[in-house]
Structure formats: structure tokens, C-alpha cells
Amino acid sequence: MDCLPVIRPMRPRDVTAVYGVESNAYDYPWASNIFRDCLRMGYECWVQLATDRVVGHVVLAMGPGEAHVLNLAVHPDWHDRGFGRALLEQALSRAEELGAESVFLEVRPSNAPAVHLYSGFGFRRVGRRPGYYQTATGREDALVMRYDLREVAPVGRR
């Protein structure tokens, strides 16, 4: 890798760049104001930098005893460099530091790279949300996945 990757807290001035990543990563991206609201609400929001530009982000919401990965994206030009893995590790570490016992997320079943990443970390499928995601032809279900922070961490987590 020819850059020094850094993960740091998202700042309000990052939102335009974060939206640029989001809109390149997803056909149905979050709007910029959603990221601003997440920052305002005090969610755990982090950006992945490479060569001083935002190339990925993760948003984590905390609740009593649990956390929820609301959004994780890496710009397609920066895929396959370990940035998604690093952002997920950041989210899991923060969830653990803040007292969560479980971390949940939703993922499109059609997003095989993401399903593979989450499964490789030790997330397990615990449910399905019918019609959760918009598609060009209608709706797609979401897989609900859970990571138990109380279990022994899988290989690669520590």
C-alpha cells in the first residue's frame, strides 16, 4: 500500500467527502443530513483516510448493552485494501470500550463481499428484515447479523 491509512473521528467538515464515498459505494446512499444528524446525536462516527482524503466511514449507535453498525462504506476505488476490515474493527473496539455486549447490523444478502467480511469476523445471522432495502426493481430483504463481544474474539480480532 502506498499510503498511510488513518482512522479518526468524523467531523462536520467531513460530511461532504463522506457523502461522496457513500454515493459511490451505494445505489441508494444516505443523504448528507443523515450523517450530520448522526454527528449531532453523538453517534460513534469514524472516517478512514488514505493520502489525506476520506475513503471510508463507519457509523455506530450505542444502546443499553448493545451497539448497532448503521453504516459502513469504502469508496470502490479503495476496495480490497483492508479498509472495510479496519473500520469494522474500529466499530467493534469502540462498542466493547463503551460497554456493549452485542453488536448488530443489517446487510443485503446480495452484497457478498460484506456478508463475507462480517461472517469472517464472527457475526452470525440472527434474523431477516423483509423488504428492508430499496432496489431498482423493488425491495430486498436484509440479513440481521449479531456479534457477541462476550465470546472469545475470532482470529484476526485481537
User: Is 28 marked active-site?
Assistant: no
- The answer to whether the annotation marks 4 as part of a ligand binding site is no
Closest by CA to 84, choosing from 63, 105, 61, 66, is 105
| Given the residues 19, 22, 43, 118, the one annotated as active site | 118
- The answer to whether the annotation marks 58 as part of a ligand binding site is no
User: What does the alpha-carbon distance between residue 111 and residue 60 come to, in Å, rounded to a whole number?
Assistant: 20
- The answer to whether the annotation marks 142 as part of a ligand binding site is no
User: Is 19 marked active-site?
Assistant: no
User: What does the alpha-carbon distance between residue 67 and residue 8 come to, in Å, rounded to a whole number?
Assistant: 19
- The answer to whether the annotation marks 153 as part of a ligand binding site is no
User: What does the alpha-carbon distance between residue 74 and residue 121 come to, in Å, rounded to a whole number?
Assistant: 17
| Given the residues 89, 96, 101, 106, the one annotated as active site | 106
> Could you tell me which residues are annotated as the binding site for acetyl-CoA?
72-74, 111
Just list the catalytic residues.
Answer: 106, 118
